[in-house]
């Protein structure tokens, strides 16, 4: 399918590089990767670009913040191969991922809110053990055993053991009895896991969220992290709008060459 991409003002690699703060080698690499349409060559083998190539570069650089390098590259390749529907599919997937990330953030916030509410409303009394041989709590430590914790959460002890295997709770063992002992942090992690599971999240999706809580030292220090998370999602959403505008301009300029 022939194209006359060289209509209009001729540009050199350095012209595109200067306008974008890139090196001429980066421009050549982008062309070889299919991010830019193929350039014509002079009789001496020099690349000759046009305003269409400049717009392709602007579109790619605008797509990067919202979609990431790999997806932005795939979008531009699809566009340059006239596979417009494939490019739209890739864009749709990025938007779906952003929506999923927003839902995850909302679930974490709701879970932490319910966690704080539950902790504030519950009396600090010992729970009944699940067996006659298991004590209700570790004396003076605020820790508890698997039976009382499972009963408090309304789940089976086997569920807590499954969460332990997934790394979501990390109880220690009582050296005298061998029972699992859940300290305050373990109870917090179990409650958070329980809330997220009720929200439909898989264990492998919950694991990194629990890791964030542990790294922050608890849910309270996560407020700043959650605010930053909100900011990053908003920035991604706006970047996607900017990328879409530049890509629409590129698509409109390409249309006469796609016949």
Give the tens place of pLDDT for each residue, 215-235: 877 766 667 777 888 888 999
Q: What is the pLDDT of residue 62?
A: 97
Q: Report the DSSP pairing between strands 144-145 and 47-48.
A: unpaired
Residue of 110, 96, 58, 107 whose CA lies nearest to 236: 96
The span from the CA of 22 to the CA of 129, in Å, is 66
Q: What is the pLDDT of residue 239?
A: 97
Residue 86 in contact with residue 225, Cβ under 8 Å? no
Determine the longest span between alpha carbons in the chain, in angstroms: 92
Q: What is the pLDDT of residue 127?
A: 40
Provide the 10 A C-beta neighbour count for residue 67.
Answer: 25
Q: What is the pLDDT of residue 259?
A: 56
Q: What is the pLDDT of residue 8?
A: 58
Q: What is the pLDDT of residue 114?
A: 73
Residue ranges for the chain with pLDDT beneath 50: 1-7, 124-133, 136-137, 139-140
Which alpha helices (DSSP H) does the chain contain, by range? Answer: 13-20, 24-32, 51-80, 84-121, 146-153, 157-165, 184-198, 203-216, 222-254
Q: What is the pLDDT of residue 181?
A: 94
Q: What is the pLDDT of residue 173?
A: 93
The span from the CA of 116 to the CA of 91, in Å, is 38
Residue 257 in contact with residue 84, Cβ under 8 Å? no
């Amino acid at each position: 399918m022939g194209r006359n991409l060289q209509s209009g003002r001729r540009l050199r690699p350095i012209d595109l590089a200067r306008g974008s703060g890139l090196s001429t080698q980066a421009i050549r690499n982008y062309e070889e990767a299919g991010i830019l349409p193929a350039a014509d060559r002079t009789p001496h083998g020099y690349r000759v670009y046009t305003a269409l190539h400049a717009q392709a570069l602007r579109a790619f650089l605008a797509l990067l913040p919202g979609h990431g390098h790999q997806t932005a590259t795939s979008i531009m390749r699809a566009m340059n191969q006239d596979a417009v529907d494939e490019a739209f599919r890739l864009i749709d997937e990025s938007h779906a991922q952003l929506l999923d990330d927003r839902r995850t953030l909302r679930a974490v916030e709701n879970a932490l809110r319910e966690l704080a509410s539950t902790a504030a409303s519950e009396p600090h009394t010992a729970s009944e053990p699940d067996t006659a041989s298991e004590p209700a709590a570790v004396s003076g430590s605020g820790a508890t055993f698997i039976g009382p914790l499972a009963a408090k959460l309304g789940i089976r002890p086997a569920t807590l053991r499954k969460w332990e295997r997934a790394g979501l709770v990390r109880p220690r063992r009582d050296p005298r009895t061998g029972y699992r002992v859940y300290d305050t942090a373990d109870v917090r992690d179990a409650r958070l896991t329980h809330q997220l599971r009720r929200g439909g999240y898989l264990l492998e999706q919950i694991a990194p969220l629990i890791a964030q809580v542990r790294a922050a030292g608890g849910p309270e220090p996560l407020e700043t992290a959650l605010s930053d998370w909100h900011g990053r999602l908003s920035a991604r959403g706006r970047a996607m709008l900017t990328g879409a505008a530049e890509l629409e301009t590129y698509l409109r300029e390409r249309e006469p060459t796609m016949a």
